[in-house]
Structure 1
Amino acid sequence: MIVCFDIGGTAIKGALAYAVDDVRPVPRQPTPIHDFAAFVSVLQAVIDQAGERPERVALSIAGIIDPDTGRAVVANVPCIHGRPLRQDLEAALGLPVLVANDADCFVLAEAGVGAGRGHRVVFGVILGTGVGGGLVIDGQLINREGGFAGEWGHGPVAATQAGNPPVQLPRFQCGCGLSGCIDAVCSARGMEKLHAHLHGTTLTSEEIVSTWQAGDAAASRTIDVYVDVLTGPLALVANVTGTTIIPVGGGLSNAEALLVAIDTAVRSRILRKFDRPLVVKAECSVEPGLIGAALLGLYAD
């Protein structure tokens, strides 16, 4: 049995995991974002509920473990930001601890019990507040020791000319400090910036998608350009990783027609040809971070 957690800036979700198909959530608790001792106490309280000593503790965090220093980069929970989190928690809890990024846990969940079941290489994608991803090969995260693998949303690679007919695009500024990232133009907020740039009007991403599906010409142009910008880099990722399935999570994944358009464009741009969808909606829509953390602990050597 392992104890797993999905750490958010507002709440800590916990569960006791006995097997892949036996993950038992416990009531969530507010996250003590400024007090590390209180943070540890919340974890310890869940561990105590188990009634037995777990093999290990596994955490999903909305951040990165720097592979060179082992320190956590977690902006929304200041009390763990900058800490050698694994070592500090192992010392405080007296148990082995595993820590992974929430997007990595999402992909691990999809590979284990979601849309990626039966696939040796699974590259998962988040399209929502940000653009992220993760890579699982043979059931194991590439980022087992932390790191930035799977972060395909960042890097100055966004097209400056896209759509049919082509339109010139700026290199939008990204929150990571670079310009021209896929995250800056293909996240939900990025789609909104793209629409405003093309048409001079402001709509939410939900409104853009819904009016596109209703046949609106301006929204259709935005989606045409959006899909063109997104799918070139995603096709490259598919070629590089050899993934045979790309589960998509995040708010934009709820638009089935958008995923179909992305899938069609990606499959037309990759070397390997598939006669079935490659880009698909994620199946673990409920608590993927917690499920992924459970699998991270259960699959550990």
Structure 2
Amino acid sequence: MITCFDIGGSAIKCAVASADGQLGTLRRVPTPLHDFAAFSAAMAALIDAGGASRGVAISIAGVVDPDNGRIKCANIPCIDGRALAADLSAALGLPVWIINDADSFALAEANAGAARGHANVFGLILGTGVGGGLVIGGRLVSGPGGFAGEWGHGPAAAQCAGSPPVAIPRLPCGCGQSGCLDTVGGARGMERLHLMLHGQTLDSRAIVDAWQAGDANASRTIDCFTDLLSGPLAMLVNTVGASILPVGGGLSNSAPLIARLDQAVRASILRKTDTPIIVPGQAGAEPGLIGAAWLGLENIGSAHA
């Protein structure tokens, strides 16, 4: 059995995975944010409660550098900057494997969700911001620094969008650059667009609902939003050869929005197909735990190959 964790700033979620990737009972505790000893002790208690384990696989809201194992995780200060897998392995007495939450989503979808049977998969996150994870030939790609799949960063956002076109300013991004897709994609990006276009503050769910109800302002926002994202996503599809892009994050709950984005992307890629390629994720309610399970099972299998 593998003990799987999905760790965020508010909670540590845990379940045991069997050899076929099935999860047992979900357990959770608050995340200790400032004390590594308390953090590792909380994990140890959850492992002990689940019974004998062959290893620990973790999905976490942070980025692990594959060269040195150090994690960047600002919302959990006690682990930020640590060689976390090594430190936890020493504390827990078990092998530890770690991936970020977007990579975990992609792995979950490739093995147990909408992307089963597809060799090249890009797991697309449309949540507060945008992110993603890349699976090629069934294996997760991390890349230098662990940043593979981070399509939301870099000064790539168009400076006009929609029909008729409207100017889009190059907004500062939390990564330190300006003009990143993360500033205009995802829920906060949609809200910024709506405010810029109409001087109206609405949350993303209200904008999507108003668009579905035929509201002209919301329709204009969705038009610009789709235009800004579809071009870069088409380039991504052409470049990595992904045959499907399952979507996670809050905006994935709107099937009409995902269908609209899918139509725009399929109209822009080189490979013409009538089959949707951008689809809502299907891995279930706990993709972080499911992705961690497959990561752990893959590593256990490799160790015994």
What band does the TM-score fall into relative to the shorter chain? over 0.9
**RMSD between aligned alpha carbons?**
1.3
Return the alpha-carbon distance in structure 1 between the equivalents of residues 243 and 132 of structure 2.
Answer: 15
Return the alpha-carbon distance in structure 2 between the equivalents of residues 25 and 142 of structure 1.
Answer: 29
Map of 1:2-17 to 2, 5 A cutoff?
2-17=2-17
Query: How much does 1:299 deviate?
Result: 1.5
User: How many residues end up aligned between the 2 structures?
Assistant: 300
Report SS of the residue matched to 1:23: coil
Report SS of the residue matched to 2:116: coil
Report SS of the residue matched to 1:299: helix
Q: Is the 8 A contact 1:100 1:144 kept in 2?
A: no
Query: What percent of counterpart residues are identical?
Result: 61
**125-134 vs 140-149, which moves further:** 140-149
Report SS of the residue matched to 2:234: helix
TM-score normalised by length of structure 2: 0.95
Map of 1:1-301 to 2, 5 A cutoff?
1-52=1-52, 54-143=53-142, 147-300=146-299, 301=302
Amino acid at match of 1:31: T
Report SS of the residue matched to 2:227: helix
Amino acid at match of 1:239: N
Return the alpha-carbon distance in structure 2 between the equivalents of residues 59 and 296 of structure 1.
Answer: 9
Return the alpha-carbon distance in structure 2 between the equivalents of residues 32 and 132 of structure 1.
Answer: 26
Report SS of the residue matched to 1:248: strand
Compared CA separation, residues 128 and 51, structure 1 to 2 (3 A): closer
Q: Which runs of 5 or more structure 1 residues have no equivalent in the other structure?
A: none
Q: Is the 8 A contact 1:100 1:146 kept in 2?
A: no
**62-71 vs 277-286, which moves further:** 62-71
Query: How much does 1:68 deviate?
Result: 3.6
Query: How much does 1:146 deviate?
Result: 6.2
Report SS of the residue matched to 1:126: strand
1:23-69, Cα deviation, whole Å (9 max, x unpaired): 113320111111111111111112212332x2211111100012343
Report SS of the residue matched to 2:25: strand
1:230-274, Cα deviation, whole Å (9 max, x unpaired): 010011110111000000011111111111110000001111112
Q: Which runs of 5 or more structure 2 residues have no equivalent in the other structure?
A: none
Q: Is the 8 A contact 1:249 1:285 kept in 2?
A: no
Runs in 1 of length 4+ with deviation above 4 angstroms?
none
Report SS of the residue matched to 2:106: helix
